[in-house]
Structure 1
Amino acid sequence: MSTVITVQGHFTAWYPAERATVRLAVGFDGAKREEVLASASAAVQTVTDSVKRLHDADAGPVTWWSSDRIRVWAQRPWNNEGKQLAPVHHAAISISVKFKDFDALSEWLAEIANVPGVQVNGIDWTLTEAKRTAVTTEVRSRAVRDAADKARVFAQAIGLANVSATAIADPGMLGVQGGGENPAPSMMRAAAFAAPAPGGASFDFTPEDIEVAVSVDARFEAS
């Protein structure tokens, strides 16, 4: 008579970031729509010109970038006496820029820090698609091995020596309620950074390693 053993395997690994995507916002507001729009357009032009100089999809340092259209809108604020004031016009745009060269990224951040209206909202650190595929395969394999090792320990604890797998699945697909990670995890980390000191040449930031974590559910028969 065989005994059914159901376990969950886990494995986590960390890898150095290979790409950094900067998230920028350009925004202005003021009483005159034309002036606000002109200021935003000028700032966007300065930023995109600097990006185009660095852009090369293969060689980098910028491998990809995108921007949306400038959004312009107006609102009438209220003062603390309940009176509605004259319209305030706003213009904003979001820009994303992906770097493969982190030294070039640091220098570029210092450059655009001097552009009026530009705000850096964050940096997302990722792996390349090829690296992500390779490490996901490895981490999934290690998670399955962890499940098999766990099943053998359980079997040996009750005096059983022969263990064979009957089912392996993503978490929850065997009807087991577990707290494992998503089998296809997001491999992205955000990093904080500091603006350069006056007269400084670059931004100070530290790329975060990318955590790749996988869980699997597995069912074994032991005899």
Structure 2
Amino acid sequence: MSETVITVQGSARSEMPPEQAVLRFTVTADGPERVPVVAAVTAALNDVSSVLSAQHANDGPVSQWSADRVAVTSHRPWTNDGVPAALVHQATASGRATISRIDAVAELIDDLASHDLVAIDSLEWSLTDARLAREQRDVRARAVADARAKAEVLAESVGLGSVTPLALADPGMLDGSGGGGMPMPRVERAMAMASMPHGDVGFSLRPEPIVINVAVDARFSAR
């Protein structure tokens, strides 16, 4: 009996709650005098650093954090009449913090954002590296199993026996050469969702789940 080649696509998906969040912030001030502008940002950055350092100490919710040095730029804006205005100095510093306890995220944001010169730039939810690796491995395996199950159904529907894998590849990469590789996962990292009043903190956060999607093209032979 001649060989029949069956080509299918398998897929798998996994959703799980995030385990940590990465918060990015900026400290900014501007004004006509360079020295007071730099002093204001330096003082605000010291306040932020004190908060993060305290939350990092003694196995606190902040697992790691960093902050840039204060940078200063100057520019001369133009008025509506096309006349150069007085020189404006701007001082900025930025930083990030990884928060390993989800229940502490809203309170930390509230503490930092309460400072007039501090802006929260982004908040990204994620899994730890170890958990992400385990989940990706599981989803990959289920995507390949899904492809095999589809091929077996197709083979059985035309009266053929068991299937033998010939090639695996990312979607769109499978060709007639029989070559291929393991499917790569796509991870959807959720951003912060809308807030709601809660307790003494100005808001609470409800992160969307982390989603891992894997699709794989597969080729099997059946007789």
If the length of structure 1 is used for normalisation, what is the TM-score? 0.88
In the comparison of the two structures, how many residue pairs are matched?
216
Per-residue CA distance 1:46-95 (angstroms, 9 max, x = gap): 001100011159x3311011222222101111121111211111111111
Correspondence for 1:16: 17
What SS does structure 2 have at the residue aligned with 1:51?
helix
Correspondence for 2:180: none
Q: CA deviation at 1:195?
A: 8.2
Write out aligned runs for 1:36-185 (5 A): 36-56=37-57, 59-175=59-175, 183-185=184-186
* In 2, Cα distance between equivalents of 1:116 and 1:106: 18
Q: Give, as a single letter, the amino acid of the residue that structure 1 aligns with 2:40.
A: S
Runs of 4+ with >4 A deviation? none
Asked if the contact 2:5/2:220 (under 8 Å) is kept, the reply is: yes
Q: Give, as a single letter, the amino acid of the residue that structure 1 aligns with 2:193.
A: A
Asked if the contact 1:127/1:187 (under 8 Å) is kept, the reply is: no
Percentage of pairs with the same residue: 38
What SS does structure 2 have at the residue aligned with 1:168?
strand
User: Which runs of 5 or more residues in structure 1 are unaligned?
Assistant: 177-181
* In 2, Cα distance between equivalents of 1:25 and 1:214: 35
If the length of structure 2 is used for normalisation, what is the TM-score? 0.88
CA-atom RMSD in angstroms = 2.2
* In 2, Cα distance between equivalents of 1:184 and 1:39: 45
Q: CA deviation at 1:170?
A: 3.0
Asked if the contact 1:21/1:123 (under 8 Å) is kept, the reply is: yes
Per-residue CA distance 1:183-211 (angstroms, 9 max, x = gap): 133452211344869x9424321122100
Deviates more, 1:101-110 or 1:16-25: 101-110
* In 1, Cα distance between equivalents of 2:214 and 2:53: 38
Correspondence for 2:189: 188
Correspondence for 1:179: none
* In 1, Cα distance between equivalents of 2:193 and 2:120: 10
Asked if the contact 2:197/2:204 (under 8 Å) is kept, the reply is: yes
* In 2, Cα distance between equivalents of 1:46 and 1:193: 27
CA separation of 1:83 and 1:192: change in aligned 2, threshold 3 A: farther
Per-residue CA distance 1:79-119 (angstroms, 9 max, x = gap): 21111211111111111111112232222222222212101
Matched, 1:207 2:197: no
* In 1, Cα distance between equivalents of 2:44 and 2:212: 38
Matched, 1:26 2:30: no
User: Which runs of 5 or more residues in structure 2 are unaligned?
Assistant: 177-182
* In 1, Cα distance between equivalents of 2:57 and 2:167: 46
Q: Give, as a single letter, the amino acid of the residue that structure 2 aligns with 1:188.
A: R
